[in-house]
């Protein structure tokens, strides 16, 4: 499948009207063939870490400043919810949440054990071109396939802390993501981490400024 078709399919789906675009926590049905989520034995950062390591455990990045300081959308609030629900409480991730609901992956993500999610912002999705949109608007099977592939391309088994982040990681879409950088500066392919090490009940989230398009 051509990359332009992937982009068009994803863009088309996100432009379709969705009644469930609010930040509610009700789960949508799973897709007919969701990608399996597997647990990981990847070690978490020790609670006896040095002061410098402890600092690395905190969320970092310029976009973190826009996260509410209290309520369900705050760092503390998100840590108490499963990842799809936590994302629904962050206004900057509303387009991602729309896509997750449309693909039927809410329950799949919320029920997963120990995953890392690279979450594109609304602005990241807005970068996608709309060419070839009409060619796939009415092909629901293609749209579901494209969405599932794209979204699972942003998910890695195991909770990666910043010290484990750099390297090549297998995604649930059976692709590879290369992460470069260190400290508080990381790139996931061509996407920049703008708010990293965000904790939810079952996932570690790195918010990124571009969508990671897989090869189809």
Q: Using one digit for the tens of pLDDT, what is the confidence trace for 43-59?
A: 333 333 443 444 457 99
Return the pLDDT at 215. 77
Half-sphere exposure in the Cβ direction for 86 (13 Å, CA): 26
Return the pLDDT at 57. 75
Q: Using one digit for the tens of pLDDT, what is the confidence trace for 165-210?
A: 999 999 999 999 999 999 999 999 999 999 999 999 999 999 999 9
**Strand order, beta sheet including 203-208:** 155-157, 115-120, 203-208, 191-199, 185-188, 176-182, 167-170
Mean pLDDT confidence for 72-93: 95
The alpha carbon torsion through 193, 12, 30, 17 (nearest 10 deg) reads: 110
- The structural domains of the chain, ordered by start, are 3-16+53-208 (2.30.180.10)
Least confident of 66-70, 74-78, 134-138, 148-152: 134-138
Mean pLDDT confidence for 152-163: 96
- Would you place residue 135 in the very low, low, confident or very high pLDDT band (cuts 50, 70, 90)? very low
Q: What is the mean pLDDT of the chain?
A: 78
Long-range CB pairs of 95-100, under 8 A, 24+ apart, other chains included: 95/14, 95/120, 95/121, 95/122, 95/125, 95/126, 96/120, 96/121, 96/122, 96/125, 97/21, 97/23, 98/14, 98/18, 98/21, 99/10, 99/13, 99/14, 99/125, 99/147, 99/150, 99/151, 100/151
Check whether 23 has a pLDDT greater than 50.
no
Return the pLDDT at 139. 63
Check whether 31 has a pLDDT greater than 60.
no
- Would you place residue 5 in the very low, low, confident or very high pLDDT band (cuts 50, 70, 90)? low
Contact yes or no for 161/34 (Cβ under 8 A): no
């Amino acid at each position: 499948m051509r990359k332009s078709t992937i982009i068009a399919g994803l863009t088309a789906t996100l432009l379709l009207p969705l009644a469930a675009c609010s930040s509610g926590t009700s789960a949508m049905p799973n897709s007919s063939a969701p990608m399996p989520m597997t647990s990981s034995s990847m070690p978490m950062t020790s609670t006896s870490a040095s002061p410098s390591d402890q600092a690395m455990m905190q969320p970092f990045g310029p976009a973190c400043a826009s996260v509410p300081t209290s309520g369900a959308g705050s760092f503390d609030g998100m840590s108490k919810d499963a990842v799809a629900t936590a994302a629904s409480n962050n206004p900057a991730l509303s387009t991602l949440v729309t896509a997750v609901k449309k693909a039927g992956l809410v329950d799949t993500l919320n029920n997963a054990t120990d995953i890392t999610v690279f979450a594109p912002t609304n602005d990241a999705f807005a970068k996608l071109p709309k060419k070839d949109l009409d060619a796939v608007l009415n092909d629901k099977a293609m749209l579901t396939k494209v969405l599932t592939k794209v979204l699972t391309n942003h998910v890695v088994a195991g909770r990666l802390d910043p010290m484990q982040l750099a390297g090549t990681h297998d995604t649930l879409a059976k692709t590879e993501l290369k992460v470069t950088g260190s400290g508080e500066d990381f790139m996931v392919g061509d996407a920049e981490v703008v708010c990293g090490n965000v904790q939810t009940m079952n996932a570690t989230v790195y918010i990124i400024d571009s969508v990671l398009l897989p090869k189809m």
